[in-house]
């Protein structure tokens, strides 16, 4: 008997027109050994989200609220947070997490579609093989994030700036821009944020889920880094500069809150709804700077996902000229104040082994 579709189907869709070339490669021998190895590792490390995580356990509300960190800032260690009524803490933590995890979920759907596009668009067989494994990884991520958000509350709509970013990456016809926009900027930010949240939370199911997902994301980011570091040196100066500009535009959509549409501005709205005035919260947090600094020291310091990860990656890939660095500096100062300093002087490097780095602090 044929499967019955619901009366209304598909239930909710949205679309962006994308045009790209599907590229055949008639050479089936390895050309980029590092990508072939990454593909073999990916095959080795598959997992089944619905079987390997314990979905029967309820969310541990106390653990969830008491170890709630946002954007890597250990708010839960401050007196300000501890003084809030339990009910308010749960409301703020749950609301912010529903929003953030929903956007992770939507981002995973974007990553799923981009990975599928990369199978067709990248010119090397090793790159296609690897992207095929990533496509499966991302399907699993969509599945597990959807299941967790469902347990926590309701899926929230995508933040407009993230939607714009995913649209841009899906729509471009250049696979290198897809790789920079998704694998380097978006997944770099995601990997850093997932790992941060995993290290902070003591909610067992969330911790386990983020550990599994981060391991996959370490490979995804590694793919972008390995592939592009082979390809960027072969580009003309004009192509290289275009790629660099595309990376900046992606980062801008994730960071710049001057348009009022970033995730950060939406989270602050949620705080207001829960009865916490963001202005008061920031003042209180500023007074407790030393508590936060001590907590951060324990977890290895805070540079944030962009400064601590995405920018070092772009520098390593030769996608950060002085011209771009000046744009980043201007944007950071406008969003985070003059004290932010300049990324040009930063000497942060990338972890030598991303997969090992993910295991730290677990």
Alpha helix ranges (H) inside the chain: 33-44, 49-52, 61-66, 79-83, 86-121, 125-152, 160-171, 175-178, 187-200, 204-231, 237-255, 263-273, 278-287, 289-298, 304-305, 311-316, 322-336, 354-359
Using CB under 5 A, which of 53, 111, 121, 162 touches Fe ion? 111
Q: How far is the CB of 31 from Fe ion (least distance, A)?
A: 23
The one-character DSSP state at 73 is: B
- Between 49 and 312, whose beta carbon lies closer to Fe ion? 49
Q: How far is the CB of 184 from Fe ion (least distance, A)?
A: 11
Q: How far is the CB of 28 from Fe ion (least distance, A)?
A: 26
Using CB under 5 A, which of 220, 240, 252, 315 touches Fe ion? 220
- Distance CA(66)–CA(267), nearest Å, equals 18
- Between 142 and 200, whose beta carbon lies closer to Fe ion? 142
- Distance CA(113)–CA(138), nearest Å, equals 9
Q: How far is CA 57 from the centre of its chain?
A: 26
Kindly indicate which of the ranges 7-15, 105-113, 251-259, 270-278 contains the residues binding Fe ion, using the contact rule CB under 5 A.
105-113
Scanning the structure block, which residue is given the tokens 């003309």?
236
**Distance (Å) of CA 201 to CA 103, 195, 225, 324:** 18, 10, 28, 35
Q: How far is the CB of 347 from Fe ion (least distance, A)?
A: 27
Q: How far is the CB of 187 from Fe ion (least distance, A)?
A: 5
- Between 137 and 244, whose beta carbon lies closer to Fe ion? 137
- Between 66 and 187, whose beta carbon lies closer to Fe ion? 187
What sign does the CA torsion over 227, 104, 301, 67 have?
Answer: negative
Residue 215 sits in the site that holds Fe ion (CB under 5 A): no
- Between 126 and 138, whose beta carbon lies closer to Fe ion? 138
Side-chain half-sphere of 183: how many Cα atoms within 13 Å?
A: 27
- Between 106 and 220, whose beta carbon lies closer to Fe ion? 220
Kindly indicate which of the ranges 8-16, 101-109, 231-239, 321-329 contains the residues binding Fe ion, using the contact rule CB under 5 A.
101-109
Which residues, including other chains, have CB under 8 Å from residue 208's CB and lie 6 or more apart? 53, 54
Q: How far is the CB of 138 from Fe ion (least distance, A)?
A: 5
- Between 168 and 257, whose beta carbon lies closer to Fe ion? 168
Applying CB under 5 A, the site for Fe ion has a residue count of 7
- Between 217 and 256, whose beta carbon lies closer to Fe ion? 217
| Burial status of residue 274 (CB atoms within 10 A of its CB: 0-12, 13-18, 19 or more) | middle
Residue 244 sits in the site that holds Fe ion (CB under 5 A): no
Residue 141 sits in the site that holds Fe ion (CB under 5 A): yes
State which of positions 171-200 bind Fe ion (CB under 5 A): 187
Q: How far is the CB of 216 from Fe ion (least distance, A)?
A: 6
Among 248, 224, 219, CA closest to 319:
248
- Distance CA(76)–CA(66), nearest Å, equals 6
Per CB under 5 A, residues contacting Fe ion are 108, 111, 138, 141, 187, 217, 220
């Amino acid at each position: 008997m044929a499967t019955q579709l619901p009366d209304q189907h598909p239930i909710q869709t949205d679309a962006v027109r994308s045009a790209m070339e599907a590229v055949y490669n008639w050479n089936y021998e390895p050309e980029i050994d590092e990508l072939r190895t990454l593909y073999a590792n990916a095959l080795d490390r598959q997992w089944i989200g619905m079987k390997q995580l314990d979905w029967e356990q309820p969310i541990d509300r106390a653990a969830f609220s008491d170890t709630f960190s946002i954007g890597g800032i250990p708010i839960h260690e401050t007196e300000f947070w501890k003084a809030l009524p339990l009910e308010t803490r749960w409301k703020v933590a749950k609301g912010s997490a529903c929003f953030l995890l929903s956007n992770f979920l939507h981002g995973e759907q974007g990553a799923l579609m981009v990975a599928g596009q990369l199978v067709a668009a990248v010119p090397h067989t090793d790159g296609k093989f690897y992207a095929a494994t990533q496509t499966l990884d991302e399907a699993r991520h969509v599945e597990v994030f959807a299941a967790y958000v469902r347990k926590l509350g309701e899926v929230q709509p995508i933040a407009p700036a993230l939607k714009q970013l995913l649209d841009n990456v899906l729509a471009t016809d250049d696979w290198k821009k897809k790789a920079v926009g998704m694998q380097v900027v978006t997944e770099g930010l995601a990997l850093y944020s997932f790992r941060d949240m995993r290290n902070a939370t003591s909610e067992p199911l969330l911790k386990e889920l983020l550990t599994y997902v981060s391991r996959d994301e370490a490979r995804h980011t590694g793919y972008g880094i390995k592939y592009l570091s082979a390809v960027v040196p072969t580009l003309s100066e004009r192509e290289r500069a275009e790629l660099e500009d595309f990376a900046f535009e992606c980062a801008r959509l994730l960071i710049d809150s001057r348009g009022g549409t970033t995730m950060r501005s939406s989270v602050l709205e949620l705080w207001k709804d829960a009865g916490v005035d963001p202005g008061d919260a920031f003042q209180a947090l500023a007074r407790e700077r030393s508590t936060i600094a001590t907590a951060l020291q324990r977890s290895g310091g805070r540079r944030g996902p962009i400064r601590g990860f995405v920018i070092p990656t772009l520098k390593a890939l030769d996608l950060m000229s002085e011209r771009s660095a000046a744009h980043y500096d201007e944007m950071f100062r406008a969003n985070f104040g003059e004290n932010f300093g300049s990324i040009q002087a930063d000497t942060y490097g990338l972890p030598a082994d991303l997969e090992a780095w993910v295991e730290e602090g677990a």
